[in-house]
Amino acid sequence: MREEGLDIRRVQDADVKGRAVLVRVDYNVPLHDGSIADDSRLRASIPTLTTLLDGGAKIILVTHLGRPKGKPVPALRLDVVSDRLSELIGRPVYKTADCIGEEVAQAVKNGHPGDVFLLENVRFHREEEANDGAFARALASVADVFVNDAFATVHRAHASTLGVAKLLPSYAGLLMQREIEALSRLLDTPARPYIAIVGGKKAQSKLGALRDLVSHVDALLIGGGVAFTFLQATGASVGDSLVDDDAVGEVASIVQAASERGVEIVLPSDARLARQLEPDAETFVCDARAIPDGWAAFDIGPDTVRTFRERIEGARTLVWTGPMGAFEMEPFAAGTIGVAEAVAASGAFSVIGGGETGEAVARFGFADDVSYISTGGGACLAVLRGQQLPALEVLRN
């Protein structure tokens, strides 16, 4: 995605007066005991909804929630989402019993400009993720215009992201535009030094991004579970720490590529250990290359935080994806908090790669001190890797 990636059709240029607008949103919100634990994804969509309502549109929202694997799952129905969205926008949100079918078509047909409908979880149908043509046509049949505001799904070629966009006049929502503009700065002319901070649980899910980031950044700071696969690949003893054994060979090739390009890879020098991941676990800090058997690392240690902070202080561009440890539990939160503090204080253009990292930055009070928090972890990584984004390509002028 280069500068021409910004040349997309924008919702603010669409004629929506009196028209039914199908809007793909990302309401894949975290739930706790049947309630929404964090409504930030709903709030992020409000500027686009307001633009459409001010323009005289009738809105039909489509989203997924969780992983129902193509069949209805009562706990993943969207009633709680429609209730909360109604509170946020100050008007009724009419939740339909399904996302396609005659009842849905009739409800939308009977609606008026200013009405907001929320279709039931689109992933209750297997045809969604298969980008089935007939399913896409059924979704599109209730609308005159399509707006994609779900950046977190833009790397997925699904019926509600790609299929419908080929059937209706299609535009990017305001959130989508903000994401593209922020991430384009990382690809086009990032201010140097440009540092990527990569964490998370499993190395396998980050290897592709790491391999491609080596071609863009000046240094890689690697923490979280990902780091211990790297450490083992370099001959360290990591005890019972999480390691992706199948990824060790590819790690070696990434290290070699970084060396050839002069990209520094900084791994943890110490780690906080426990025998089990529990909130009241006995912990201690140990050399990250000499972890005893029976113990596992669940966070980077204080020396590593200091080292990472020194590198971060000298950066002018930062991207961070993946927490440094099991930050949800107090004994293992210090690494993620320390890195968040450093990023927030750096003065660099900083992009947080969504998902758990964005959750952590918000939880620890640093959301207002970073440049941008992406709403899409996987989509953000796809952009940074320079991959084609099918649901974005179809929105180009």
Q: What would the DSSP string read from start to end of 113-158? A: TT-EEE---GGGSHHHHTT-HHHHHHHHTT-SEEEE--GGGTT---
Q: 299 has which bridge partners? A: 272
Q: Which of 209, 232, 242 lies closest to 357 in space, CA to CA?
A: 209
344: left (phi over 0), alpha (psi -120 to 50) or beta: alpha
Q: Kindly state whether residues 157 and 246 are assigned to the same domain.
A: no
The CA distance from 163 to 243, in Å, is 38
Q: Kindly state whether residues 252 and 347 are assigned to the same domain.
A: yes
Q: pLDDT tens digits for 15-27?
A: 999 999 999 999 9
Q: Kindly state whether residues 171 and 194 are assigned to the same domain.
A: no
Sheet holding 296-300, edge to edge: 283-287, 270-274, 296-300
Mean pLDDT of 350-378: 87
User: Residue 379's pLDDT band (boundaries 50, 70, 90)?
Assistant: confident
Q: pLDDT tens digits for 178-187?
A: 988 888 877 7
Q: Kindly state whether residues 205 and 328 are assigned to the same domain.
A: yes
Q: pLDDT tens digits for 67-96?
A: 999 999 999 999 999 999 999 999 999 999
Is 392 domain-assigned?
Answer: no
Looking at residue 201, what is its pLDDT?
84
Q: pLDDT tens digits for 269-319?
A: 999 999 999 999 999 999 999 999 999 999 999 999 999 999 999 999 999
Residue 365 has pLDDT above 80, yes or no: yes
Q: Kindly state whether residues 81 and 43 are assigned to the same domain.
A: yes
Is 391 domain-assigned?
Answer: no
Beta-strand relationship, 296-300 and 290-291: unpaired
Q: Kindly state whether residues 265 and 359 are assigned to the same domain.
A: yes
The CA distance from 227 to 221, in Å, is 9
Catalytic, out of 77, 202, 211, 309: 202
Residues of the domain holding 352: 190-384
Is 393 domain-assigned?
Answer: no
User: Residue 6's pLDDT band (boundaries 50, 70, 90)?
Assistant: low
Is 389 domain-assigned?
Answer: no
Is 248 domain-assigned?
Answer: yes
Q: Kindly state whether residues 202 and 279 are assigned to the same domain.
A: yes
In the chain, the number of structural domains is 2
Work out the mean pLDDT of the chain and round it to a whole number. Answer: 92
Q: Kindly state whether residues 40 and 149 are assigned to the same domain.
A: yes
The CA distance from 52 to 38, in Å, is 24
Looking at residue 3, what is its pLDDT?
38
The CA distance from 61 to 166, in Å, is 18
Residue 10, C-beta contacts closer than 8 angstroms, at least 6 positions apart: 171, 172, 177
The CA distance from 173 to 49, in Å, is 9
Beta-strand relationship, 145-148 and 290-291: unpaired
Is 394 domain-assigned?
Answer: no
Is 101 domain-assigned?
Answer: yes
Residue 1 has pLDDT above 70, yes or no: no
Q: Kindly state whether residues 271 and 353 are assigned to the same domain.
A: yes
Q: Kindly state whether residues 94 and 205 are assigned to the same domain.
A: no
Is 184 domain-assigned?
Answer: no
Catalytic, out of 355, 358, 376, 377: 355
Amino acid (1-letter code) at residue 276: Q
Bond before 193 cis per omega within 30 degrees: yes
Determine which of 141-145, 203-207, 248-252, 263-267 has the lowest per-residue pLDDT on average: 203-207
Is 109 a residue of the active site? no
Q: Which H, E and C letters describe 184-232, residue by residue?
A: HHHHCCCCCCEEEEECCCCCCCCHHHHHHHCCCCCEEEECHHHHHHHHH
CATH of the domain at 195: 3.40.50.1260
Give the global pTM: 0.82
Looking at residue 153, what is its pLDDT?
87
Is 355 a residue of the active site? yes
Looking at residue 250, what is its pLDDT?
87
Q: Kindly state whether residues 13 and 143 are assigned to the same domain.
A: yes
Of the three residues 177, 202, 222, the one that is the final residue of a domain is: 177
Residue 263 has pLDDT above 80, yes or no: yes
Residue 397 has pLDDT above 50, yes or no: yes
Catalytic, out of 200, 225, 377, 378: 378
The CA distance from 266 to 237, in Å, is 17
Q: Kindly state whether residues 133 and 12 are assigned to the same domain.
A: yes
Q: pLDDT tens digits for 12-57?
A: 999 999 999 999 999 999 898 999 988 989 999 999 999 999 999 9
Residue 141 has pLDDT above 80, yes or no: yes
Catalytic, out of 5, 24, 41, 301: 41
User: Residue 158's pLDDT band (boundaries 50, 70, 90)?
Assistant: very high
The CA distance from 384 to 139, in Å, is 31
Is 202 a residue of the active site? yes
Sheet holding 264-266, edge to edge: 264-266, 219-222, 194-198, 317-321, 349-352, 372-373
Give the phi and the psi of residue 284 in degrees, each rounded to 5: -155, 160
Of the three residues 120, 149, 177, the one that is the final residue of a domain is: 177
